[in-house]
Amino acid sequence: MLGYFASETVSATWYDGVTGVNVKGVWVPGLASGVVIRIIAPQPVKANELTNLPDGEHVSDYVRTWADTMSLTTRDGLKEADHILWDTKLYKVTQVDDREALGRYKRVTMKKVG
């Protein structure tokens, strides 16, 4: 699917959640472990899509993107959520919709960190 939108993709850096560390409640990515990936330029999340987020998370600074290169994951037990650095902004992965059957891509919702 993303092959059709190759001209719309941008470079971003993916950080696996297990490579970062929390410093006084702020997640700091393991900078040496970043992997450059291609994603569709992040788009604002629509208001009706915010209702699918967990209670207490219905705030601004959410964006949506699409990726086909990594197994992006949200927080799972002790494993921190993955993070994506794009355009000098750090985002935490909050929701991943696997669209493997529709074209081998993932629809990813992210929240800006900081």
Quick: pLDDT tens for 82-109: 889 999 999 999 888 887 666 678 889 9
Rg (CA), the chain: 14
Instruction: Return the higher-pLDDT residue of 16 and 11.
Output: 11
Q: What are the chain's domains?
A: 2-112 (2.40.10)
Quick: pLDDT tens for 25-55: 777 766 557 888 888 888 888 766 666 655 5
Average pLDDT of the residues of the chain: 77
What is the spatial distance between Cα 40 and Cα 31, in angstroms, rounded to a whole number? 22
Residue 32, classed as helix, strand or coil, is helix
What is the spatial distance between Cα 76 and Cα 62, in angstroms, rounded to a whole number? 20
The reported pTM is 0.74
